[in-house]
Amino acid sequence: MDNVKAIGFIGLGVMGKSMAKNLMKKGFSVNAYTRTKSKAEDIIEEGCTWCESATEVAEKADVIITMLGFPSEVKEIYFGEEGLLNNAREGSILIDMSTSSPTLAKEIAEAADKHQMTALDAPVSGGDIGAREARLTIMVGGNEEAYNKALPVFQAMGTNVVLQGGPGMGQYTKMVNQIAIATNMIGVSEAISYADKAGLNPNLVLKSIGGGAAGSWSLSNLAPRMIAGDYEPGFYIKHFVKDMTIALESAEELGLDTPGLKLAKGMYEELVTRGFEDAGTQALIKLYVDQA
């Protein structure tokens, strides 16, 4: 497996499809499965091999990536009767790039070891733009030897790849990321709303503050979408609420109070009740626009 060529990929959503395409651009053959085949038609036309199930993916590749929406889906794909742990070959490297529970990541790693496989948790940050441009940040937890073997695979999808420690540490790092983003999104939304109320041109304001101390990925990439009223998802609100729920549960397990995270989660849950669960996270600005 020193020269990995065949990759299994399960989950061709907003980010997963771009990630799989970037693997193909780097010369990897991709064997993919996702629940709705119609969503994979374009990547199949580009040369991806379609598989009818996770079991078939497991039969065709020794490095298998999952990019799923919710921990329940991750659990089913790994532990289900037709899942990876029961059907992948010995020596396989299983890489979950979903944002999921650190506890579940540890359980998968332990089970993989019992099946003579290795599991890495490798959640990502960078949104739809980072996925398309192969500029993702990839936070990895797990066995160092497996990480080194998989590194060329990670480098085909991202530019900032860091092994954070043992099993679960990638997911813990992603929770740090989501906690930082949660309150930052409130700040960006309030800043843009304030600029508009003050009679400023928000786009000109961004030119002044984007490169200074107020600068952030969210300010540079999502504030322009807020200003334009573009709420198309780079990252779904429903998935962000899921992430914040995991982060809150994990923080409680660690004995840490996170009031900012609780506030952000409550605001996004309000958007869900208003029917914005499939909008992008930048739709948080709606809570301010609707005050007008």
DSSP state of 61: -
137 three-class SS: strand
Distance in angstroms (rounded) separating the CA atoms of residues 172 and 140: 10
Please give the C-alpha separations between residue 210 and each of 57, 88, 186, 222, in angstroms, as whole numbers. 44, 47, 16, 12
List, by residue number, the catalytic residues. 174
Which phi and psi (to 5°) does residue 162 adopt?
Answer: -135, 130
Q: What tokens were used for 149? A: 């073997």
DSSP state of 183: H
90 three-class SS: coil
Distance in angstroms (rounded) separating the CA atoms of residues 178 and 197: 29
| CB neighbour list of residue 123: distance below 8 Å, 6 or more residues apart | 96, 97, 98, 99, 100, 138, 139, 170, 171, 173, 174
* Residues in a beta bridge with 118: 93
Distance in angstroms (rounded) separating the CA atoms of residues 17 and 21: 6
Distance in angstroms (rounded) separating the CA atoms of residues 92 and 193: 50
Determine the straight-line distance between the first and last CA of the chain, rounded to whole angstroms.
59
